[in-house]
Amino acid sequence: MTAPTQQPPSHTGSQQIGADRHTLTDRSFHLIGIGGAGMSVVAQLLAARGARVSGSDAHGSPAFDHLADLGITTYLGHDAANVPAGSTVVVSTAIKETNPELAEARRRDQEVIHRSQALALAAQGLDFVAVAGAHGKTTTSGMLAEALTDAGADPSFAIGGVVRALGTGAHLGGGSALVAEADESDRSFLNYTPRVEIVTNVEPDHLDTYGTTEAFETAFVDFAHRLVPGGLLVACAADPGSLRLARTAAAEGLRVVTYSFGGLDTLPGGMLVGEGHVHLTIQERGAASTRARLTLIRAAEPERNGGARAGEQVQSQVELVLAVPGDHVALDAAGAWAAGIELGVEPAEMARALGSFGGTGRRFEDRGQADGVRVIDDYAHHPTEIEALLRTAREVAQERGGRVLVLFQPHLFSRTRAFADRFGQALGLADTIVVADVYPAREIQADFPDVTGDTVVQRVSGGRATFVADRLEAAHALAAQARPGDLLLTVGAGDVTELATTVLSDLATREGGAPGSPTRRGGHA
């Protein structure tokens, strides 16, 4: 067993919240895999609410180190002796029953709960806003958390990525709201009872868990049923699955507000679905910003069936100026705007606060520039995400007079097999693509012998994609093809994020004219 790391407790959070917020002072929790993005957030929130918290992780990480700085006892490596007697053990779906700490907890008959259940405990007494969807969760929840903070609401938040302006993904504030991502991948979002739900899309994913599209969509209907009485579902009508969810929820008498790029004429029958709709109109696109208009259309008197007559609307209209590019980001902002209004923020103030959003970690994150090549890192790992990312990248690259180059690492063999054709189509929006081998995560190659990164490459038309199995070699290969003016992206949910540094190092060496550096091709773009 490795000796625990412990630092003097940080009192930053406790100074911001009163003693009445320390509702877990009589509880002890031990989190297995505490260094992971989602688990580290939960650890911080539990500690901020007064609980005694410890945890272990197989590998060190910045998040793991930060927990020790906050006074949380951490263990590097898993060992049965790490588990405090009497503590509630918190696990994620990734933790196997063979884990020595989980096995010890079972032997002792200690309480074992899922990460989502621990977060639900931390959310007690707060206005819980749960953000769900196959993609867009981190951006939407991060945007909402930052905007509410900027508006003076001091929300609590639990986000699986770092909100750049806030410097963290976890905080227990003094306000009444808690904003959190709700993970649908393992059905754990069904453990929550939110006041507000934002559903960015219901596009099939995680079919290794759900099996069918129908089962995936049914889970979101169940999620809507988890709303507290009088709670609000904010659903993206630009996504067919989310629109179906909105119609089902409204027909069942739940409160619903939709949002999309279209107005009432794009909704079924030209009528509101539920009690309101946010119409997003993009007015100007830039490499570093987006200007849009948000129009909230509400029914004066909603009909009993969940719809409203076309002539019975009252409108609120505001300007939205985002400091980040991308239509998809603006669409996320529309959902966050509706949620903020529901929480009591004035529409104009909410739009102003959203304008300050500076992005979250690994979402079009600028990692630097060398030899005239700008390097961007992004978490996109679903075809729809990649398509939205590359459309934004194209706009940025055009302003630079360069090309779009992509280093893509597929995530999960099952997802790669299920969406191979769509991955090929999405990546086809780039000029040059290098695909590394699949990041297996919880899966093993032996179960998918016919699936590799080349499975995707074969679906990219025009011979623009190359399969280089080794991720480091893939990074070197793409860096060698980059030229001044280009936008180079590292893309995927695995450890491809580490390769941005490799690419920048190669480019910097070339820029300095080091012996043996690759020759520039094509001159200046």
Q: List the catalytic residues.
A: 137-138, 181
Beta strands, E only, 267-372:
276-285, 290-299, 313-322, 365-370
Q: Which of 93, 63, 72 is nearest to 29 (CA)?
A: 72
The rounded distance, in Å, linking the Cα atoms of 256 and 265 is 18
What DSSP element (H or E) covers 455?
helix 453-457
Neighbour-count burial of 439, counting CB atoms closer than 10 A to its CB (0-12 exposed, 13-18 middle, 19+ buried)? buried
The rounded distance, in Å, linking the Cα atoms of 10 and 26 is 19
Residue partners of 55: CB distance under 8 A and separation at least 6: 30, 31, 32, 33, 34, 35, 39, 43, 67, 72, 73, 74, 75, 90
The rounded distance, in Å, linking the Cα atoms of 233 and 182 is 14
- Tokens 């588990």: give the residue: 83
In 316-382, alpha helices (H): 327-342, 347-354
Q: Residue 438 carries which DSSP code? A: -
CA 360 to chain centre: 9
Question: Which amino acid belongs to residue 480?
Answer: A
Q: Which of 118, 97, 123, 106 is nearest to 38 (CA)?
A: 118
Question: Which amino acid belongs to residue 59?
Answer: H
Give the three-class secondary structure for 463.
helix
